[in-house]
Amino acid sequence: MTRIITFAEAIREALYQVMEADENVIVFGLGVDDPKAIFGTTAGLQQRYGLERVFDMPTSENAMTGVGIGAALNGIRPIMVHQRLDFFLLAMDQLVNGAAKWHFMFGGQGKVPITIRLIMGRGWGQGPTHSQNLQAWFAHIPGLKVVMPATAEDAKGLLLESIYDNNPVIFLEHRWLHNTTGEVSEKAERIPLGKARKVREGADVTLIAMSFMVVEAIHAAEFLAINGISCEIIDLRTLAPLDWPMVFESVAKTGRVLALDTGMTTGSFAGEIITRIANECWGALLYAPQRLAMPDYPEGTSVSLTADYHVRAEHIAGKIGQMFGRTLDTTSLVANRRYPHDVPGDWFSGPF
């Protein structure tokens, strides 16, 4: 049975189901038991599963990551959550030198089944240090798995799989997705890591997206369809491992590719996508592979400074038009947006 719930509710449901099924699962992070409950995703967990298994923590991102690693080495399955990815940067030693290396570095003695939920976003003045999308950093580190769901169904299924994975998983939640809705199974159905999802079949161009970029890609594809360009959209779901066969097969079919990224342009994961496609699909390409990512500047706070900053559907449509030698009038795409550019929808009124 499925029913329509939000992305945030899907995460909460996954946490309930996994904590019910396995007493080794624990959840901790700043604010998991506060009234806001990590945008509702941890609401009620502590009441049901107790202070030992669900707990708030000292403001000690680095040590608490190590605590999760240590517990994981002895059979616990910790789920750690940070309301902003940017704070987790304090924990890079434990993540990169510890969690990511442990299993390999000790010749297979020991494993670190920890899931680290990092929430990231854009807009509403999140500014330079509350908005960063650093998936490329994590995907660069061997030994980490990197998950970026775009739908409620994937949020639940991929989170369940991440928790049961015997390796460290970085689970990246885009704040603009928490209130989106979708059909989600009531059961604890896991979705394997490393299997991308074809969001839309198309013939002319492949759009490769992750997380919130999938939403922008869908808007752009609908507009482009009206304008006679058929887009295929691939939602990567996970960056590590990555479903390269689906990517290559699609590009071989369409001959054109635009890789989208919620991170900065230089060193972006989209750059890796383009590189691999150039290596593997050269003969099939009809146009130089393109990417759209964020500018190589920190995100400014003022609503005015983000007016032309983020990649939105009109930019995607414009870029694809360019790939076909066409100049498309995208004013309708902009006009159809019923809310300001710095919020995901009417439901969002801050503060974060």
Partner 1 sequence: MTTTDDLSVQLLYGMKRIRLVEEYIAARYSEGKMRCPTHLSIGQEAAAIGVGLALNHSDLAVSTHRAHAHYLAKGGDLQAMIAEIYGKAAGCSRGRGGSMHLIDTKVGFMGSTAIVGNSIPVGVGLALSLQLRKSSAVSVIFCGDGSIEEGVFYESANFAAVRKLPVLFVCENNLYSVYSHLRVRQPEGRKIYKMVEALGVPSTLVDGNNPQAVHQAAETAITRIRKGSGPLFLELSTYRWREHCGPNYDNDIGYRTEEEFQVWKNKDPILRFEQNLLAEGVLTISTLKRMEYELKDEIQAAFNFAENAPYPGPQEAFQGIFAEMALTQ
Catalytic residues: 61, 130
**Are 236 and 260 within 8 A, CB to CB?**
no
Per CB under 8 A, 107 contacts partner 1: yes
| Shortest distance (Å) from residue 69 CB to partner 1 | 5
| Shortest distance (Å) from residue 76 CB to partner 1 | 5
Among 2, 129, 166, 336, binds partner 1 (CB under 8 A): 166
Helices (H), 22-109: 45-53, 61-73, 85-88, 92, 102-105
For partner 1, give the closer residue by CB, 110 or 295: 110
For partner 1, give the closer residue by CB, 107 or 228: 107
Binding-site size for partner 1 (CB under 8 A) equals 45
| Shortest distance (Å) from residue 190 CB to partner 1 | 9
Q: Where are the beta strands (DSSP E) in the chain?
A: 2-6, 25-28, 54-55, 77-82, 115-120, 145-147, 169-174, 181-185, 197-200, 205-209, 231-235, 238-240, 257-264, 290-294
d(CA 65, CA 54): 15
Among 1, 3, 35, 108, binds partner 1 (CB under 8 A): 108
CA distances from 112 to 23, 115, 340 (A): 17, 9, 42
- State which of positions 45-104 bind partner 1 (CB under 8 A): 52-53, 57-58, 60, 62-76, 93-94, 97-98, 102-104
Residues 117-156, mask of contacts with partner 1 (x by CB under 8 A):
-------------------------xx-x-----------
The secondary structure of residue 97, as a DSSP letter, is I
Per CB under 8 A, 266 contacts partner 1: no
| Shortest distance (Å) from residue 108 CB to partner 1 | 5
- State which of positions 197-216 bind partner 1 (CB under 8 A): none
Per CB under 8 A, 40 contacts partner 1: no
Q: 3-class DSSP state for residue 112?
A: coil
Q: Can you say how many angstroms the Cα of residue 82 is from the centroid of all Cα atoms in its chain?
A: 14
d(CA 333, CA 17): 40
Nearest to 150 by CA among 120, 118, 172, 119: 172
Q: Cis ω on the peptide bond leading into residue 142 (within 30° of 0)?
A: no
| Shortest distance (Å) from residue 48 CB to partner 1 | 17
Could you give the count of Cα atoms lying within 13 Å of 312 in the half-sphere of its Cβ? 21
**Amino acid identity of 169?**
V
Q: Can you say how many angstroms the Cα of residue 223 is from the centroid of all Cα atoms in its chain?
A: 24
Question: Which residue do the tokens 């997206």 mark?
Answer: 209
For partner 1, give the closer residue by CB, 111 or 219: 111
Among 105, 278, 286, 307, binds partner 1 (CB under 8 A): 105
| Shortest distance (Å) from residue 29 CB to partner 1 | 13
Among 2, 36, 48, 106, binds partner 1 (CB under 8 A): 106
Other Cβ atoms closer than 10 A to 203: 12
Stretch that binds partner 1, among 110-118, 251-259, 275-283, 324-332 (CB under 8 A): 110-118
For partner 1, give the closer residue by CB, 145 or 156: 145
**Are 172 and 85 within 8 A, CB to CB?**
yes
Interface residues toward partner 1, by CB under 8 A: 22, 26, 52-53, 57-58, 60, 62-76, 93-94, 97-98, 102-113, 142-143, 145, 164-167
